[in-house]
Amino acid sequence: MWILILRRIAAMGFSILFLTALIFFLMQAVFGDPVVIMLGRDADPDTVARLRQDLGLNRPAYVQYGDWLGRVAEGDWGRSFRTGEPVLAAILARIPLSLELAFLSLLLAVVLALALGTLAAVRPHTRLDAAISVLTAFGTAMPNFWIAILLILLFALHLRLLPSSGSVPFLEDPLGHIRAMVLPTATLSVAYLCNLTRLVRAKMAESLDTDYVRTARAKGLREGRVLWVHALRNSVLPVLSILAVSMSRLFGGAVVTETIFALPGVGILLVDSILGRDFAVVQGIIIIVTVGVFTTNFLIEIAYAVVDPRVRYR
């Protein structure tokens, strides 16, 4: 296990270093000269040259990358070209809301998928199984923005039960915060809920037809114990694999969801920074998200080995 952990940490370090270099040079190539962005195309050439020298942008790109990497290691991620705010401070101020949205969405998707997938597997070829299959097919086919629009029309405009956009800090208004997070959480969780439900249903159906489940029933164990302890444990392993693959998709869905519901998270900050060509903030967000995805996948691999002792990584 410790060899696995050390090898994965080393691989993460090299991958993150490569991605930081790739992102740094791509941002410069795509967004252009930040001094021109700051001063405008009609700025005085002497002023442009002086500011470029003050910012160290007149040096070769690889030297700039080395300096930037050193500052990042010290906690200095630069400043936003639009607002002048420190990049790291701007991102950290918005991360809690984005993490909350991602965590609640995954939690809701996993819990409901385990319940619905198990119910469908226990009662195959029934109306309940057919209804769950139809709903999961529709949920998989519909994009996030369309689901968000439907939820807003129903619960915000028609029933007037939930707010359609915005958010308030939890400490200021706990109930208002919870109400504001209901629709975004439901929107982001639908796609993962549908995929996981279909997967759990298929794996549970396989598990219920295995010898060890029949042996457990022959021993007189309660049906609940057979389902939730013996059969479900093997069905959870593919769920962990899907979650590891879905981390990058989750961030993409969060960007769309936060933009639609006007949540002040990292996703909407990324959209605003791209539109404003604020590549320092864009670069910082992508790096933090990359580190988060790598770390989450690493933890899921460890959990996979813990849940199934037969799994051994070499």
Of 109-118, 133-142, 174-183, 272-281, the range with the lowest mean pLDDT is: 272-281
Main-chain dihedrals φ then ψ at residue 79, nearest 5 degrees: -125, 150
Q: Higher pLDDT residue, 85 or 36?
A: 85
What pLDDT is attached to residue 7? 77
Coil, helix or strand for 79?
Answer: strand
**Total residue count of the chain as it appears in this document:** 314
| Separation CA 261–CA 67 (nearest Å) | 38
What pLDDT is attached to residue 310? 60
What pLDDT is attached to residue 83? 79
Any residues with CB less than 8 A from the CB of 156 and at least 6 apart, and which?
162, 163, 164, 183
CA angle (11, 16, 22) in 5-degree steps: 130
**How many C-beta neighbours within 10 Å does residue 28 have?**
17
What pLDDT is attached to residue 308? 63
Q: Which amino acid is present at 1?
A: M
Main-chain dihedrals φ then ψ at residue 77, nearest 5 degrees: -100, 10
Mean pLDDT computed over 123-147: 88
pTM over 0.85: no
Task: Please write the tens of the pLDDT for every residue from 58-100.
Answer: 777 788 888 888 888 888 888 887 778 898 899 999 989 988 9
Task: Please write the tens of the pLDDT for every residue from 151-204.
Answer: 999 999 998 889 988 888 888 889 999 999 999 999 999 878 888 888 888 888
Q: How confident is the model at residue 31 (pLDDT cuts 50, 70, 90)?
A: low
Task: Please write the tens of the pLDDT for every residue from 198-229.
Answer: 888 888 888 777 777 778 778 777 777 777 77
**How many C-beta neighbours within 10 Å does residue 117 have?**
26
- Residue 35 pLDDT exceeds 80: no
What pLDDT is attached to residue 153? 93
Longest dimension (CA), the chain: 87
What pLDDT is attached to residue 248? 65
In the chain, where the domains are located? 23-76, 93-307
With 0-12 CB in 10 A as exposed, 13-18 as middle and 19+ as buried, what is 285?
A: buried
Of 18-22, 30-34, 86-90, the range with the lowest mean pLDDT is: 30-34
Q: How confident is the model at residue 236 (pLDDT cuts 50, 70, 90)?
A: confident
Q: How confident is the model at residue 244 (pLDDT cuts 50, 70, 90)?
A: low
- Residue holding tokens 């159906």? 205
Q: What value does the CA radius of gyration of the chain take, rounded to a whole number of Å?
A: 24
Contacts 24+ apart (CB under 8 A), 26-32: 27/279, 27/282, 27/283, 28/61, 28/279, 30/279, 31/277, 31/279, 31/282, 32/277
Structural class in CATH, domain 93-307:
mainly alpha
- Residue holding tokens 């962005």? 37
Q: How confident is the model at residue 287 (pLDDT cuts 50, 70, 90)?
A: confident
283 DSSP β-pair partners: none
Coil, helix or strand for 168?
Answer: coil
